[in-house]
Amino acid sequence: VPSVTWHVLDQAPDIGYIHVRGFTERTSDEILNALQKLRQAETSSLILDLRDNPGGLIDPAVATASQFLGDGIVLYELSRDDQERIFRVQSGGVSTSIPLIVLVNGGTASAAEIVAGALQDHGRAPLMGESTFGKGAVQLIYDLSDGSSLHVTSAVWLTPNRHQIQGQGLTPDIYVPCGDGPQDKQLDRAVDYLQSQRRND
């Protein structure tokens, strides 16, 4: 099952839609392929859907954020002994200037929060939807002899503006509740937002 699906929106054929289900070894290639295909389809803006994305591997998340950012920092990893590891934007992003909005909700967690937080902090894209889960810690798990396990936090993740994800999550720039029924209100609002931005340009 691919981690990335994409299509041109029926209701707005100039808007490309990319849904990332999770971050696996294949995500970096899949996101690049999606962006290239949507460029060939002559889309003029993008929706990146990170809703209900539980996270996954950190390197593909950094690679994904890097496709939209020209340079700078994606995240800081701060370990228990105050050692700091910096993950920088990888050069060569193919979609660093196209108008972008990111959909998030309470199921957006971990590596997905890294991507959303980087795009938000760099002012690259607003987050729309609901507050994210707040899982931004590296945990070591020790199995104990009685069958239980001990979870020890070895590091926490900070966004480029040094906002701690763990226990706090990210607050959307534009709050849109998911609503009931089959209609995707958050997606509809994202389309409205991109179209109104274009009218204002």
- CB atoms near residue 85 (< 10 Å): 11
Q: In angstroms, rounded to a whole number, what is the distance separating the alpha carbons of residues 10 and 179?
A: 21
Catalytic residues: 110, 121, 135
